[in-house]
Chains A and B, each alone.
Chain A
Amino acid sequence: MKVTLRTDVLTNNNKAAEFNRELFESTKTLVINLMSSPGAGKTTLLEETVRALSEKYRIAVIEGDLATERDANRIRSMGAKAVQINTHGGCHLDARMVAAALGEFDLDEIDILFIENVGNLVCPSGYDLGQNHKVAVLSVPEGNDKITKYPQMFMRTELVLLNKIDLLPYLDFNVEEAKQDLSEINPQSVLIPLSARTNEGLHEWFSWIEGAYNRCVQQ
């Protein structure tokens, strides 16, 4: 007997993502899913973001990590609530893991929730977590070619934070070429060059967040 299903393999993930999304909408929480390769600077950027914006917004962070609690502790030391999800070797966060972690928060008391995904440019992009926005972090030492090498990531993110621009004088990263490549993969996507070390360009990221937050609460 043959049974035709035509069921999406990620059906269960998508259901959990819808569950999360409804929760985020009903509590007017802006949720940003941050993705990058390992070490691009997600946690450092979040530390600086919490430092700059925690007077204005109530911020919380979910930290995806293969095994440790380190990144969550870094965020806590900046004064924001952070919950660590250890994926035990899993290469991405999925919506069920996020749903389980949400039990640790009172979303009514949170304006912005950042989700730091596991450092990996391939797998995380395929998993809807129920977020409002997917944002990629790319760093100068990784080189220009990452955008065209991992088009699946960059076609699914609406913003690319190009981090570590303080290192531009020492490396051959070409920002204009990166912008061009990005526009040919995802013309809607925006690239913001910045440095979580020197804070150059961070204000542009902060105003992007502000705009996204205003749109989120007006809905």
Chain B
Amino acid sequence: MHEMALMGDIVQLIEEDATAQGITKIEKVELIVGEISNAMPDALRMAFEIFRDQNLHFFSQDAQLVIHTEEAKAQCVLCGTQYRPRQKIALCPECKIPSGKLLSGETFQILSYEGSSD
């Protein structure tokens, strides 16, 4: 997997924005990670700790990563049933036909960050 590279992108995007805002020290980062996005929360946490510990000029020592999991949800276009897709993502549990459309679960976003300017 490539969570180190993903964390590199996350840190870069935050750094760009923080520089523009005059923020020099990051204390907290919040992500939204969909259940069926390709990112793995545990690997992201590990990668975050490595980046933080290697970039203490930019992160405070106890900077934390908060991950909000976005549930995967799908809805059948025929009967309207909402369900939690497992492997057979499109299969409606009521109709038993592949009439489901994914509503959520693919998001992978930086929700916010917190920091200060000293």
Contact = CB atoms under 8 A, between A and B. Distances in A.
Interface of A: 1-12, 90-92, 122-123, 125-126, 148-149, 151-152, 155, 181, 183-187
B53 interface: no
A11 B13 contact: yes
A6 B111 contact: yes
Contacts of B10: 9
B2 A8 contact: no
B2 A3 contact: no
14 contacts: A3-B18, A3-B114, A5-B14, A6-B109, A8-B109, A9-B39, A11-B13, A122-B1, A125-B38, A183-B98, A184-B98, A185-B89, A186-B89, A187-B98
A91 B88 CA distance: 25
Given A9-B10, A91-B2, A152-B36, 5 more contacts: A5-B14, A5-B110, A122-B1, A183-B98, A184-B91
B83 to A, nearest CB: 13
A90 B109 contact: no
Contacts of B17: 3, 5, 7
Contacts of B9: 9-12
A30 B116 CA distance: 48
Given A151-B88, A181-B88, A7 B13 contact: yes
Interface of B: 1-2, 5-6, 9-10, 12-14, 17-18, 21, 23, 31, 36-39, 87-91, 98-99, 102, 108-117
Nearest to B38: A126
A155 B34 CA distance: 15
Contacts of A122: 1, 38
A45 to B, nearest CB: 25
B33 to A, nearest CB: 9
B5 A186 contact: no
A127 to B, nearest CB: 9
A90 B109 CA distance: 22
B88 A148 contact: yes
A9 B1 contact: no
Given A1-B116, A2-B112, A9-B13, A184 B2 contact: no
B2 A92 contact: yes
B89 A155 contact: yes
A87 B12 CA distance: 20
Contacts of B108: 8-10
Nearest to A187: B98
A186 B37 CA distance: 16
Contacts of B115: 1, 3
Nearest to B40: A122
A152 B108 CA distance: 14
Given A122-B38, A184-B90, A184-B91, A7 B109 contact: yes
Nearest to B32: A6
Nearest to B37: A126
A149 B115 CA distance: 40
B81 to A, nearest CB: 15
Contacts of A186: 89-90
Q: Which 9 A-B pairs have the closest CB atoms?
A: A184-B88, A126-B38, A187-B98, A184-B91, A148-B87, A4-B112, A2-B114, A5-B110, A184-B98
